[in-house]
Amino acid sequence: MSPETQITNLLYRYAELMDAGELENVAALFDHAEVTLGGGRVVHGAAPLLEQWRAFVRIHPCGTPRTKHVITNAIVEVDDIAGTASCRSTYTVFQQTGALPLQAICAGRYHDTFVRADGAWRFATRDYSLLDMVGNLSQHLLLPVPAQAN
């Protein structure tokens, strides 16, 4: 499997786990990563990221956030010799709950870097601050988000 496929599979695995409400497993993908959150706050590793998600992501009685993260337009650049890669992608999050009809609730961009360790690619950094469009997040997040992102 090519490095590009392995890296895009990591993006898709993130979406799959997040939509399943498996926050511990999502956080494990970032165990060795530095993650920039909104407001420029940076966390390192799985534990603080899991703490953030538990505090901010609404998990519904079904055990999931009732979302579908769609990640597209992945532009992957690999440096095989250095064992590093970068990826810019876009995302749209859809949601449907008993109180919310199916709709896009937000869209933005991920800027990620990766490292190859022990023959496998893993996240090195992610920038979550690139939120471009904000819809009705009331059924997804437990904290307010400004109606217009920067």
Q: What are the CB-based long-range contacts (under 8 Å, 24+) for 47-51?
A: 50/23, 50/24, 50/26
Q: List all residues 6 or more positions away from 81 whose beta carbon is below 8 Å from its beta carbon.
A: none
Residue 146 lies in a domain: no
- Considering its fold, how many domains does the chain have in total? 1
Helix ranges (DSSP H) in the chain: 3-19, 23-28, 46-56
If pLDDT is split at 50, 70 and 90, which confidence band does 146 have? low
The answer to the question of residue 142 being in a domain is: no
Asked if residue 139 belongs to a domain, the reply is no
Summarised one tens digit per residue, pLDDT across range 61-99 is: 999 999 999 999 999 999 999 999 999 999 999 999 999
Task: Provide the whole-model pTM.
Answer: 0.93
For residue 71, give the CATH number of its domain: 3.10.450.50
Q: What are phi and psi of 62, to 5 degrees?
A: -75, -5
Assess if residue 33 is contained within a domain: yes
CA 82/CA 99 separation, integer angstroms: 49
pLDDT band, residue 149 (cuts 50/70/90)? very low
Q: Whole domain around residue 30: which residue ranges?
A: 3-134
Read off the amino acid at residue 36. T
Average pLDDT value for residue range 23-40: 94
